[in-house]
Amino acid sequence: MEKVKSFAREVLQAYNQKDKDAICDLIMLDDNNPQLEQLQQALYSMTESSIRVAVEDVSKNEPRSLKDMIISYLNFSIASAVDSSSFVDVYELLSKCYASFSSLYQAHDAQWLTPLLMNLSYSLVDWAILADKEKPNAKELRISDAAAKHLSKSFNTVISDKVPNALEDSKKMALFYLANLLKSTRLIPTMMSNISVAGVKLSDYPMSQQVTYRYYVGRYHLYQLDLRRAERDLSFAFRNRPSPSLDESENEVIYKNSRLILIYLTACRLCLGRLPSLQLLQVYRLEVYFAPFIRAIKKGDLGILDRTLAAPDQMAWLVKKEIFFLLKEKLRVLCWRSLICSVTRASQVPNKPAVTRIPLQAVLDIVLALTKDNSYDIWDIECITASLLDQVCSGMM
């Protein structure tokens, strides 16, 4: 019990002295930390009630939220170390700790707690994801959605900070960190609107936060079919991704994140008719998914496009990445455009005036041969050609 009382005194001292480094060192969330292991060993023989009594003995005149945060953190620490604890139960304890901390963080002079807010927020999301995986078919509200409510509350606290401190000493230092943790496309419009009103510049924040934020905003624009803006955001994220390091485990994370950005950047550029290099796709093992689309667009081969989209493995991967319907809609238009242009050029006779009419019958014959779909007729080809011409003319006006 003395070890727990000593820990509580140190947290109280760090809080009263506003020592952000000390309190972050004490409220540890890394199971591999030796100091945390020592604390957990002292907690093994204690019950929840004895933990509460120990903390109450040394914090009689302290704020209720501070006491509850320490008690909840200690309960979380021991539960996370016990193999029999469920992820859901561990999350609930951390959630209580986070709620108590949020009450403390709402104070106007709590800017110094921002590093601890970021640490707790990251761990809350981490445990929420584990809890959701433990109960994947639960009918009630997903735990990650409950965690998002906690983060949204903190986000609102951060964005409403009016204290005129430098950014590094302001609550707003956590603004994009929390926005990136929320990572829900349905919340992005609200967050973007709130951030624009907050008067902060994304360029003032660490590059890692800029890259993550631009990635999620890029994906949002992609789903909204705002392809130009999506390309700008995703290109920024890919261009400014971290460089490889000497740490192999860190390199694995960098490679995984770079590959994820490239998936959506490639999908976006394909829809814009900008074809990526096969060498780049091969580096990230994406050529198997995107190379057939590149061939289909170059040749105007609707058959390759249809077979690729219908392949079970390909379809499952595209659906999982949430780009199946986007590619199905946009790439078909590009293939038709390429096919009609190719047939028109091939119909040109050397040393004779250029043909100004599109050979619809020739296009129909090739479409029937490529797709093996006999439902097409000359009127379909005429309608498709007229629609493509209308798009070109509209784009020139």
Q: Which amino acid is at 329?
A: E
Residue of higher predicted confidence among 197 and 186: 197
pLDDT on residue 184: 62
The DSSP 8-state label assigned to residue 273 in this structure reads T
pLDDT tens digits, one per residue of 59-73: 888 899 999 999 999
Among residues of the chain, what percentage have pLDDT more than 90? 50
Please give the pLDDT value at position 356: 65
Between residues 388 and 50, the one the model is more confident about? 50
Question: Taking 70 as the threshold, does the pLDDT of residue 377 lie above it?
Answer: yes
**pLDDT above 80 (res 210):** yes
CA dist 379 and 360 (Å) reads 9
| 316 pLDDT higher than 60 | yes
What is the reported pLDDT for 388? 80
The stretch 49-61 carries a mean pLDDT of 88
The whole-number average pLDDT for the span 163-187 is: 82
Task: Give the range among 104-108, 179-183, 239-243, 317-321 with minimum mean pLDDT.
Answer: 179-183
- What are the DSSP calls for 204-253, one per residue? GS-HHHHHHHHHHHHHHHHHTT-HHHHHHHHHHHHHTPPPP-S-HHHHHH
Residue 340's CB: how many other CB atoms inside 10 A? 23
- Write the Ramachandran bin of 183: left for phi over 0, alpha for psi from -120 to 50, otherwise beta: left
Q: What is the pLDDT of residue 394?
A: 60
Amino acid at 125: V
Residue carrying the six token digits 């309960």:
75
Q: What is the pLDDT, as a whole number, of residue 164?
A: 74
Arithmetic mean of pLDDT over the chain:
87
Of residues 241, 266, 269, 267, the one with CA closest to residue 255: 241
Predicted confidence (pLDDT) at residue 269 exceeds the cutoff of 60: yes
- Asked which of 62-76, 93-107, 193-207 is least confident by mean pLDDT, the reply is 193-207
More confident residue, 137 or 307: 307
pLDDT value of position 137: 62
Q: What is the pLDDT of residue 138?
A: 55
Q: How confident is the model at residue 341 (pLDDT cuts 50, 70, 90)?
A: confident
What b/e sequence results for 246-271 when a residue is b if at least 16 CB atoms lie within 10 Å of its CB, and e otherwise?
A: eeeeeeeebeebbebbbbbbbbbbbb
Q: What is the pLDDT of residue 397?
A: 44
Q: State pLDDT tens for residues 130-160.
A: 888 887 665 556 788 888 899 999 999 999 8
Examine the pLDDT at 181 and tell me if it is beyond 70.
yes
CA–CA dist 371, 362 (Å, integer): 14
Residue 380 pLDDT grade (very low, low, confident, very high; cuts 50, 70, 90): confident
pLDDT digits (tens, 9 = 90+) for 218-230: 999 999 999 999 9
Instruction: Tell me: pLDDT of 167 over 50.
Output: yes
Let me know: does 343 contact 362? Beta carbons within 8 Å: yes
Say what the pLDDT of residue 396 is: 45
Q: H helices then E strands: how many in the chain?
A: 20, 0
Q: What pLDDT is attached to residue 150? A: 92
Alpha-carbon distance 43 to 82, whole Å?
11
**Is 35's pLDDT higher than 80?**
no
Q: What is the largest CA-CA distance in the chain?
A: 100
Question: Domain map of the chain by residue range?
Answer: 338-396
Task: Give the C-alpha separation, 127 to 91, whole Å.
Answer: 6
Can you tell me the distance from the alpha carbon of 80 to that of 89, in angstroms, rounded to the nearest whole number? 9
pLDDT class for 249, splitting at 50, 70, 90? Answer: confident
Q: Is-contact 185 148, C-beta < 8 A?
A: no
